[in-house]
Structure 1
Amino acid sequence: MIQIRSETPQDIAAIHAVNAASFPQEDEANLVDELRKQGALTVSLVAEREGQIVGHIAFSPMTIEGADSHLKAVGLAPVAVLPNYQRQGIGIKLVTAGIDACRDLGFDLMFLLGHTEYYPRFGFVPAVPLGYQSI
């Protein structure tokens, strides 16, 4: 059974390992380490199965400029599941729990760069047609 919970200091090495194993390079693992070091992990959840960390998701604060500058925004990056545990619904559980946690914290907007086929099931839509762009 998969349990989704907030990360603890004891999870840090396993989180790095999950992110490193889930992507072709260690950029995502290093990003999470740097965000944590800077105190910029707004939400960091792990998926645990039988005492093993098998997945991770991170959210960090974003700044909106312009007319919507009053809105609280967060960015989702990355979401990772160990290769042997992919396609078992763990990513869906992580994203759903992460969205709920960010809503509970009062965030108005959430952004990500990701697969256009995967994320619409969670309510994500392209940001550019809505007037948002990265700088």
Structure 2
Amino acid sequence: MDIKIRPELNTEYRATEETIQTAFLHEEYSDKSEHLLVNKIRKSDAFIPELSLVALNQNEDVIGHILLSKIKIVDGANEVDSLALAPVSVIPKHQKKGIGSQLIRAAISKANDLGNRSVIVLGHKDYYPKFGFKQARLWNIKAPFDVPDEQFMALEITDHALDNVSGVVQYSEAFLD
């Protein structure tokens, strides 16, 4: 399938949110509010427009989306900037065709181009390692809530980006509402 990945336009916000809502509608581990999270992040200082990417089909319809937003890894007075990958979504009829993987790779590449050094994700333990994600606990990076170690992962976009980094991830207020 031929798809195009590019930054989301503000005129596509509604279509993107509908795509996200459709993608998570039947997901067992979803609270069905991922589209609302994206809306809140867009209105926060954690939003990076260049890292809100959409996948378009041949008709230019939004069929997938990924968002990387600003977070910090905090250890006392030490803070390190990072990114959160949340969410990535593809409408059901286009799932399992590699579109989600293309979105993830494109977002990580764009994040690297913008000078970002690491990404944190809470996700499926068997899916994200294929992109280089490893358990965040390897760097002594912890989630601010209870979550299985194998699902809370980090990726060094640049080599050694997380050397000497440890602490608790601090998500933007948008995640906490």
TM-score range, shorter chain: over 0.9
Question: 2:3 aligns to what?
Answer: 2
Matches within 5 A, 1:33-48: 33-42=39-48, 43-48=51-56
Q: What is the percentage of aligned positions where both structures have the same residue?
A: 35
Q: Are positions 1:119 and 2:98 aligned together?
A: no
Q: Are positions 1:31 and 2:31 aligned together?
A: no
Matches within 5 A, 1:1-135: 1-24=2-25, 25-42=31-48, 43-50=51-58, 51-66=60-75, 69=78, 71-135=80-144
SS in 2 for 1:31: helix
Q: Distance in 1 between matches of 2:54 and 2:14?
A: 12
Report which of the two structures shows the higher radius of gyration computed on alpha carbons: 2
Q: Distance in 2 between matches of 1:3 and 1:68?
A: 42
Specify whether residues 113 and 40 from structure 1 end up closer, same or farther in structure 2 by C-alpha distance, changes over 3 A only.
Answer: same
Specify whether residues 67 and 53 from structure 1 end up closer, same or farther in structure 2 by C-alpha distance, changes over 3 A only.
Answer: same
Unaligned residue ranges in structure 2 (runs of 5+): 26-30, 145-177
Unaligned residue ranges in structure 1 (runs of 5+): none
SS in 1 for 2:126: coil
Q: Indicate if the aligned counterparts of 1:73 and 1:110 stay in contact, CA closer than 8 A.
A: yes
Tell me how large the CA RMSD over aligned residues is.
1.6
How many residues of Structure 1 are paired with residues of Structure 2 in the alignment?
Answer: 135
Q: Distance in 2 between matches of 1:46 and 1:38?
A: 19
1:80-109 CA-partner distances (Å, limit 9, x unpaired):
000000011100100000000111111121
1:17-70 CA-partner distances (Å, limit 9, x unpaired):
111011134311000000012242221000000211000000110111128945
How far the C-alpha of 1:71 sits from its partner, in A, is 3.5
Q: Distance in 2 between matches of 1:116 and 1:102?
A: 22
- TM score, norm. by length of structure 1: 0.93
Question: 2:165 aligns to what?
Answer: none
SS in 1 for 2:73: coil
